[in-house]
Chains A and B, each alone.
Chain A
């Protein structure tokens, strides 16, 4: 892998074929996770078209709960109301970011990102790391995480990749 670097308005990276395959698979899993959540929402078609009518309770899955947190810390009623109005929109945008990332992987090993694609990558890499951290039980600063070594390596690799992307956008 050659990490992200900037060329004018674009940022580019060169990934190994195995790395693009992993990113595509992870994006697919994230989309599935979010799709399932959206499908559970007790909504009607009209409200869904407006992006509202989402679930009223936070997800039970800790990974999803971290992707879709409560907006109020000590007010479950206000959180619930806010969630119904905003969660479906948030889910849609996270899915759109995942799809935008997958679209940039279609060109093979060279990844070329224009500014909107770079923004999708930033957010999507964050979402992937939040999900992996929940699975690895990384809950506080300094937690090394427990679980599959390959998953830990993946978590670190995604962090490295994201770090180089952030540097390009500084």
Chain B
């Protein structure tokens, strides 16, 4: 009798699933219109960030032109982008690597 493998190998389907699960990100872009206090408020009230984290992300947007504010599945990121557009922030989503 041959021994069975104790740890099953990942099936090709699992590998495909992992590729499909590659995280997407929500990016907020700098704009000259929105107040820094408002952007910070949006990050805190919508994403539930602490005041410090919201302030940090706002400054990344301001100083570097953009910041990743969330990551996860594509549909969730699409909902975040839509919510940012509700607030009047300029946001897009993309694959994490890009």
Chain A residues with a Cβ under 8 A of chain B: 66-75, 82, 86, 89-90, 93-94, 122-123, 126-127, 129-130, 133, 138-143, 159, 162-163, 166-167, 169-170
- Identify which of A67, A140, A166 contacts B38 (C-beta below 8 A): A166
- B88 near A71 (CB under 8 angstroms)? no
- Most chain A CB within a 10 A radius of its CB, from B38, B87, B94, B98: B38
- Identify which of B32, B34, B86, B92 contacts A70 (C-beta below 8 A): B92
Chain B residues with a Cβ under 8 A of chain A: 27, 30, 32-35, 37-38, 41, 45, 62, 78, 81-82, 85-88, 90-94, 98
By Cβ-Cβ distance, the 7 closest A-B pairs, closest first, are A126-B88, A133-B33, A73-B92, A166-B37, A71-B81, A141-B32, A166-B38
- A90 near B82 (CB under 8 angstroms)? yes
Output the nearest chain B residue to A71 by Cβ-Cβ distance.
B81
- Identify which of A68, A133, A141, A166 contacts B85 (C-beta below 8 A): A68
- A126 near B93 (CB under 8 angstroms)? no
Beyond A72-B92, A163-B37, A169-B41, is A126–B32 a contact (Cβ under 8 Å)? no
B41 to chain A, nearest CB (A): 5
A86 cross-chain contacts in B, Cβ below 8 A: 78, 82
B34 to chain A, nearest CB (A): 7
* Chain B facing A: main interface SS: mixed
A69 cross-chain contacts in B, Cβ below 8 A: 85, 90-92
B87 cross-chain contacts in A, Cβ below 8 A: 122-123, 126
A154 to chain B, nearest CB (A): 13
Output the nearest chain A residue to B98 by Cβ-Cβ distance.
A74
For the complex, what is the distance from the CA of A141 to the CA of B32, rounded to whole Å? Answer: 5
B83 to chain A, nearest CB (A): 10
A72 cross-chain contacts in B, Cβ below 8 A: 92-94
- B37 near A167 (CB under 8 angstroms)? yes
B27 to chain A, nearest CB (A): 8
- B93 near A71 (CB under 8 angstroms)? yes
Beyond A93-B86, A166-B41, A167-B37, is A82–B78 a contact (Cβ under 8 Å)? yes
